[in-house]
A and B are shown apart, each in its own frame.
Chain A
Amino acid sequence: MSAHANLERRRQAIYGWLLLSPAAVLLTLFAFYPSVATLWSSVFSRGTRRKPTEFVGTENYADLFADPTFWIVVKNNILYAGVTIPVSIFIALSMALWANGKIRARGFVRTAYFTPTVLPMIAAANLWLFFYTPGLGVLDQIGSLFGLPSVNWLGQPETALWAIIIVTIWKEAGFFMIFYLAALQTIPEDLKEAADIEGTSRWTYTRRIVLPLLMPTTLFIAVNAMINSVKLIDHLFILTKGGPSDASKLILYYIWEMAFAFFDAPSAAAMTIMVIAVLGIVATIQFFYLDKRTHYQ
């Protein structure tokens, strides 16, 4: 290879690294290093005054597996994810298809759907507290009109998690709808017309044309929804604090409790590592499996 081309290649490489470095530095500082540090601390015991920290291998993990609360929390989170992800995606898609149609007050509808997204989660939770409060809450007020008894939605184990799930869906659906709306705008109008001339029903058009063309968006949203199903716990602090009797406790909340209420950093670290591993695996599967079936324009 000529010296000139070599020089050019090196220049390109340096240029590439320069462009990469800000992101690389930030990610190392705030993502990779903490992850590794967490992994590190998860294999050491919790130090007390009498017993200093020592290497314990997988003992922290074993302790967790033996902890019944851990399993309740895992079960809660799986239910939480299993409901919020598909339901919020489905609602977002339906709303987007509707708000994208030729309806009156389209701008208003879009804004209305989007409002929950702009609200901070804490504010949203306070809003819902006002709905759920027994006796005073809007839900109970409406119920009492029909002679229904007062229900403590957040205060009983059977309903607490579901009440949380509904808040999350309400919060997420509008956000995801915006992505779907944006994607719908990129589908040319004449595809619909071409399908119309062939006698395609609205449903067939949606199923055979619109949904496949929305696949990249769905994939993106699904990954986001999954991450949110672990990440989004702000409302727990306001609404239930994980109670009653751990009925609405989610993993991240439990991690927070471990770390900052019980000061059991190693357990919290072990749990964090497991969450990262699971999220990583699921995201990889989603990307590789769905990617094959996704058409990118």
Chain B
Amino acid sequence: MTTSPFVKLDGVAKRWNGQLGVEGITLDIPEGSFTALLGPSGCGKSTTLRLLAGLELPDEGKILIDSKDVTTSAASDRNLSMVFQSYALFPHLSVAENVVFGLKVRRVPKQERQEKLHRALEITGLLGLEDRKPGELSGGQRQRVALARAIVAGQRLCLMDEPLSNLDAKLRNAVRKDIKKLQRDLGITVVYVTHDQTEAMSMADTVVLMKDGHIQQVGTPEDLYSRPSNTFVAEFVGAPPMALLQSSVLDGFGDDKTIGIRAENIQIAPKGEGRLRCVVNESEFLGAETLIGLDHAGATGLCVLKPGLSMIAEGNEIDINFHDENLHVFDAAGQRQAG
């Protein structure tokens, strides 16, 4: 390792009245990267981000930003910006005033303020809306004001807490691309909280998957998808998620293991030639393909994809086949076994 990471969390823990918030968060974030904190609701994503921002103070552990120990520093001393889920725009201030609020507080000269404002509005496509109040903007525009406010400060680290969750699906796709482009163009480091895995997988260089306050896996989207480190990751990532089988239903894997297999690696075999016999429980037409849900006594989430529209009636028995190299083997504790 040549350079120390830009942001470093080391064994950070935060508890509320002794109850679990987050525990043992250790994470290195390189400069200029896009890191997504992903996980189900209540797993501690926001808490981690707020610890990083200085809005909460950790009970244990250390936080370093740019090689400086900021564990107990105030939020304003950490040189970062943040986009809130609710945008946190000041309702009585115009778009322009909202964006330059921080610059004004820091007594940036008026001339410079105007230039930065113009550039930020240009980047976010808000020119012409300077004098509107947040209440007079659409959700997407508000979101971009929040974004403009975050980038106008010119901080190298930007934290975002589910910034897209208030937008509709179409807008979300567009803004997702904007944010990603912005991050690349400005070369800033983004830590991005989301519970939407498509968002995390499509935007992030590194995905941090969390559950119940603990990190489950840190890796590239590819890593999480094709080498899940435990059964939770396996079942969380991907649509449809990985199916899990008890090893006892297959030969040669022992009795106490869990076997994971993705839908795209399963083929339907002619009757009597498959490795497992299952019962169809649903057929869901997805457009390009049809998802056939399967029931088997020793498996959960088993399904298979068929190209085009090809429904199979519920209750039919079919045989399925798969290759051993596509299987993920997890030990009794649910951890991935080497390979």
Listed in ascending order, the chain A residues whose CB lies under 8 Å from chain B are: 188, 190-191, 193-201, 204, 208-209, 212-213, 215, 295, 297
Inter-subunit contact B80/A197 (CB<8 Å): yes
Task: Tell which of B77, B88, B149 touches A191, judged by Cβ atoms closer than 8 Å.
Answer: B88
A–B pairs, 28, beta carbons within 8 Å: A188-B86, A188-B88, A190-B88, A194-B82, A194-B84, A194-B149, A196-B54, A196-B75, A196-B76, A197-B54, A197-B55, A197-B75, A197-B80, A198-B106, A198-B153, A199-B77, A199-B102, A200-B76, A200-B105, A204-B105, A209-B92, A212-B92, A213-B92, A215-B92, A295-B91, A295-B133, A297-B91, A297-B135
Contacts A194-B84, A197-B82 given; 11 further ones with Cβ under 8 A?
A193-B82, A194-B88, A196-B54, A196-B76, A197-B76, A197-B102, A198-B106, A199-B102, A200-B105, A209-B92, A213-B91
Inter-subunit contact A193/B75 (CB<8 Å): yes
In whole angstroms, how far apart are the Cα atoms of A212 and B92 in the complex? 7
Inter-subunit contact B55/A193 (CB<8 Å): yes
A-B interface, 3 closest residue pairs, ranked by CB to CB distance from nearest: A199-B76, A198-B102, A295-B92
In whole angstroms, how far apart are the Cα atoms of A200 and B135 in the complex? 23
Contacts of B81 in A (CB 8 A): 197
Contacts of B77 in A (CB 8 A): 199
Contacts of B135 in A (CB 8 A): 297
Given contacts A190-B86, A194-B82, A194-B84, contact A199 B106 (CB under 8 A): yes
Among B80-130, those with CB < 8 Å from A are 80-82, 84, 86, 88, 90-92, 101-102, 105-106
Q: Decide yes or no whether B311 CB sits under 8 A from chain A.
A: no
In whole angstroms, how far apart are the Cα atoms of A191 and B134 in the complex? 13
In whole angstroms, how far apart are the Cα atoms of A183 and B101 in the complex? 23
Give the Cβ gap from A149 to chain B, nearest Cβ, in Å.
52
Q: Decide yes or no whether B36 CB sits under 8 A from chain A.
A: no
In whole angstroms, how far apart are the Cα atoms of A200 and B88 in the complex? 14
Contacts of B74 in A (CB 8 A): 196
Q: Decide yes or no whether B53 CB sits under 8 A from chain A.
A: yes
Contacts of B54 in A (CB 8 A): 196-197
Give the Cβ gap from A209 to chain B, nearest Cβ, in Å.
6
